[in-house]
């Protein structure tokens, strides 16, 4: 089943047009997505390896949680829904902070044109990785990596991280490094 998604203007405002996810990407219509970076108190970042059956970047590492904002849904609600859907984790008690939003265009193939506003969130929450129940249709593995290792991965050109997240991950590293410098 395709989720229905709001088509956005070039300024990021809802146009009133609503399309299925597949049509949004086929037509290259602007839309909104959420990206969450989930850390534990040991300063490790949760990464997910995408399932081999997903339509983009199968088998490579992705950030903690990624998903589309459904039609009529707020970004902050979408991030909690995606935590439940992708990781099988109840997000009701997790404190989630909004970091930044940016627009990105990427053509993955002729029927997958991504023009999306990405709302980037961060949280710190200790979880037992064995207690997670990721959706096998979307996620094949979840791992915690020390932030120092993630920092090195982001600066490496031969990273196993999906390339579409490269700029965002560099911005996240810069933001977190500069925040701790105070």
pLDDT of residue 123 exceeding 70: yes
Per DSSP, the residues of 93-142 read: T--EEEEEEEEEEEEEETTEEEEEEEEEEEEE----GGG----TTTEEEE
What pLDDT is attached to residue 182? 40
Of residues 110 and 64, more confidence is placed in 64
Question: What's this model's pTM, rounded to 2 decimal places?
Answer: 0.91
Record the tokens describing residue 39, joined without a space. 């850390």
Q: What is the pLDDT of residues 89-110, one digit of tens each?
A: 899 999 999 999 999 998 888 8
Which residues pair with residue 144 across a beta bridge?
46
Give the span between the Cα atoms of 62 and 159, in whole angstroms: 11
Q: What is the pLDDT of residues 30-54, one digit of tens each?
A: 999 999 999 999 999 999 998 898 8
Domains parsed from the chain with CATH numbers: 4-180 (3.90.79.10)
Residue keyed to tokens 């229905």:
4
Q: Beta strands 30-39 and 112-124: pairing type?
A: parallel
């Amino acid at each position: 089943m395709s989720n229905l998604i709001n088509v956005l203007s070039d300024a990021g405002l809802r146009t009133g047009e609503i399309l299925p996810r597949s049509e949004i990407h086929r037509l290259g219509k602007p839309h909104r997505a959420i990206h969450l970076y989930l850390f534990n108190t040991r300063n490790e970042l949760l990464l997910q390896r995408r399932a081999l059956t997903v339509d983009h970047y199968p088998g490579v590492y992705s950030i903690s949680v990624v998903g589309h904002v459904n039609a009529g849904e707020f970004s902050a609600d979408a991030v909690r829904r995606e935590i439940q859907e992708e990781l099988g984790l109840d997000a009701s008690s997790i404190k989630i902070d909004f970091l930044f939003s940016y627009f990105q265009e990427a053509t993955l193939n002729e029927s997958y044109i991504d023009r999306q506003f990405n709302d980037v969130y961060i949280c710190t929450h200790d979880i037992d990785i064995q207690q997670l129940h990721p959706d096998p249709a979307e996620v094949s593995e979840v791992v915690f990596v020390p932030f120092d290792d993630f920092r090195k991965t982001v600066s490496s050109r031969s990273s196993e991280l999906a390339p579409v997240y490269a700029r965002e991950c560099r911005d996240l590293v810069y933001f977190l490094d500069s925040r701790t410098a105070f």
